[in-house]
Chains A and B, each alone.
Chain A
Amino acid sequence: MGTRILSVEDDERIRTAVRMGLEDEGWTVDEAASGEAALEVFAERPTDVVLIDLMLPGMDGFAVCRAIRRASDVPILIVTARADTHDVVAGLEAGADDYVTKPFQPKELSARIRALLRRARPAAAGTSQLSFGDLEIVPDEGVVRRAGADIHLTKTEFRLLCELASVPGRVFSREQLLERVWGYDYFGDGRLVDVHVRRLRTKVEADPAAPRHVVTVRGLGYKLQA
């Protein structure tokens, strides 16, 4: 079955042009002109990636993000007007996995979508199970447990955790994580890593404010430890 993308955009001309561009990549595109319509479409059809413009009339993009994230761990890509505003961080915190800024190059958009579509590649493939104190990771099954209980992670969060787990105790810089998890070259936005690490901590840490497993190494990056 082919890849289905849900594109949420209120501007009809942009929506059409983007649909044509994505269809040229061989993907099937569902469209929604509002947040409410997007949630309906999302409930009806299986979707592989959601593309959401943050500036929507009525229910805004952040709310759509949160609503979809509550129901699913589908990769979400947000479209923002500016990279250097708080919108990006707010969108990521609402559950988005990555972002593009207008006016984006369609090539850039499809590269982002392809990165999100990549299966959660187990970085530590072959290892059946990794343990970090009370944290257990089973990369092949895509399962994470804390103190025996399953934790639900999004695909991006899981991939981030697996990358950190690939070499326990090693410090990964934001650039390295951007490249390995998001497929960015040098020019990725470090805030992606920061927000996702924050989100990951709320799930895998007993006390997210005092993380024991996903640790910040000042000026260097992040590492995973027992």
Chain B
Amino acid sequence: MAGRPEHEPEPGRAGAGSGQQARRLATPLGLRARVIMAFTMGALVLSALLAAVTYGLVGENLVRQREAVATDQAYLNARYLRDRLRSSGLQVASPLDSLETTGGGSPVLLREGVWFAPLGVGREDLPASLRDTVIGGEPARMRFPLDGQIQLAVGIPLPAVSSAYFEVTSFEELEGTLNSLGISLLAAALVTTIAGATLGASVSRRVLRPLSHVSAAAVAIAGGRLDTRVARIDDPDLGVLVTSFNEMAGALQERIERDARFASDVSHELRSPLTTMTASIQVMEGRRADMPPRAQAALDLLVADVARFSTLVEDLLEISRFDAGAARLDLDDVCISELVMHALAAASDAEVPLAIAADAVDAVVQADKRRLVRVIANLVGNAESHGGGATGVSVDRAGAGHVRIAVEDAGAGVDEEDRERIFDRFFRGAAAGSRGQGDGVGLGLALVHEHVALHGGRVWVEGRGDREGARFVVELPVSRQTASAPEPDPGPAAVPAVRS
């Protein structure tokens, strides 16, 4: 079913062109996302940099200290070894063995072309350049990788005993320290980054809050609540936005209200002459029999057009109140089937068949009776002017929460493309040319739409399947099913029914 949705105000109709769309595609991220991202990236870069520098400095410092200690130890060991070799001659193994316990290094000794390496680390493991330098008579120190670990090799020539002493120290335990330092710094960087993101989110929310208020107010204004304003804020930068928005809203409201007031004033002023006219016409109608036929015919014209004029003035006044946002609902619990019955009887002289579904008989709607009666009258009137008269009216339920009132006619129907626009003011479709007696003035259906929307319902027109004609459907929300309707009028003789 081609339901006709309510006329929602189209948000941002003014600037929603293709340009905006293109811009939206080019910058898919919103301001908030960008602010959060900037904060996150900033925090990430800063903390990573800080962590890296800290790691580098502390690491280097630790390595230096370790090197200094290892070098001192190597010199101590070398001196000890030299003394021992000098005193004990060729016995190499025992002084080397005794070196094991002092310091954490692995000793390697070159004595008269023979390499001694009691702890597995031997000649092949030492970097060649270091070996050459030391054998050449220069003490040297070098960091080098061995088995995937950084090692420090210290080489000291011992010319007095025609030897060279090397000591290889592992940084294993230092690496453990550095690892945990690295993990700590990484964790700190991560925490900082998360804190940055959180801060960014909070800042962006604070910054954007006035904007979201402005946006909500704009939507409200577009929806017809013209007196909506944004609460003042202290921030001098965003305050300007709020102030100018409120000024704009005020100017807009004033203008719309002035327009609506003008229409209202005009129709109001027309009421006085109309009152005189309707009263005078009735005086003339009372003397109709005394009039010559031509005067009678003229009176008939006058009667018809004063009635039409009255309707137009009433409709204009009504619609200007909608425009001014001054339309107020005078709500009451209304039994919908009863209302349709009475409204139909009053709206049409012809007998229009009314079908009320069993489950809709006691449906109660929170409604403004006067407005709903006008809705039925206008729909029936529309069927009479453009559809050859209403052929049937039905009331039934649409799900649990809604009731539908449908007015059918057997006229030419409404073209598919006109089914939305037919509810526009002064809309004249294909039927415009065929306006004969000139009943409607083109506001009836627009008012139907306004009244129904005010009740939170909707109205649409559809075809009648394979038959000719149109079906106008009004859907209203039901407030409750059970009619706690008062008992039918028992008349004076009825037994008093006492309710507690």
Contacts and interface: CB of A to CB of B under 8 A. Distances in A.
A206 interface: no
B63 to A, nearest CB: 88
Contacts of B485: 173, 220
Contacts of B286: 24
Given A14-B276, A103-B275, A171 B499 contact: yes
SS of A interface (majority): loop
Contacts of B317: 82
B305 to A, nearest CB: 14
A207 interface: no
A217 B499 contact: yes
Interface stretch (B193-201, B204-212, B226-234, B277-285): B277-285
Given A83-B370, A84-B330, A170-B498, A103 B282 contact: no
Contact of A185 (B272, B280, B321, B342): B342
A82 B316 CA distance: 13
A166 B492 contact: yes
A168 B333 CA distance: 24
Interface in B242-264: none
Interface string B328-347: 10101100001100100010
Contacts of A18: 275, 279
Nearest to A24: B286
A24 B499 contact: no
A186 B332 CA distance: 14
Interface stretch (A39-47, A61-69, A104-112): A104-112
Nearest to A186: B342
A81 interface: yes
Contacts of B310: 103
B278 A167 contact: no
A154 interface: no
Contact of B497 (A24, A170, A219): A170
Interface residues of B, number: 41
B219 interface: no
Contacts of B185: none
A90 interface: no
B268 interface: yes
A173 B486 contact: yes
Nearest to A110: B282
B246 to A, nearest CB: 28
A43 B276 CA distance: 28
Contacts of A56: none
A176 B494 CA distance: 15
Contacts of B490: 167, 170
Contact of B276 (A17, A167, A168): A17
Interface in A206-226: 217, 219-221, 223
A70 interface: no
Contact of B271 (A102, A190, A221): A102
A119 interface: no
Nearest to B492: A166
Interface in B344-399: 346, 369-370, 373
A84 B328 contact: yes
B268 to A, nearest CB: 6
Interface string A157-176: 00000000011111111001
B275 A14 contact: yes
Given A103-B271, A190-B332, A172 B373 contact: no
B274 A169 contact: no
B438 to A, nearest CB: 20
A11 B328 CA distance: 29
Contact of A81 (B268, B283, B328, B332): B268
Nearest to B345: A186
Contact of B486 (A102, A171, A187, A189): A171
Contact of A104 (B278, B328, B369, B498): B278
Given A166-B492, A187-B346, A190-B332, A21 B271 contact: no
A223 B500 CA distance: 11
Given A24-B283, A102-B271, A187-B373, A221 B486 contact: yes
A21 B330 contact: no
Given A17-B280, A106-B279, A169-B497, 15 more contacts: A17-B283, A20-B279, A24-B282, A83-B370, A102-B272, A103-B271, A123-B492, A166-B492, A168-B496, A170-B497, A170-B499, A171-B486, A187-B369, A187-B370, A187-B373
Sort A-B residue pairs by CB-CB distance and give the 6 closest, nearest first: A17-B279, A186-B342, A103-B274, A103-B275, A173-B486, A169-B498
15 contacts: A16-B276, A17-B277, A20-B280, A24-B282, A84-B370, A106-B278, A167-B494, A168-B496, A170-B497, A172-B486, A176-B489, A186-B339, A190-B332, A190-B369, A219-B333
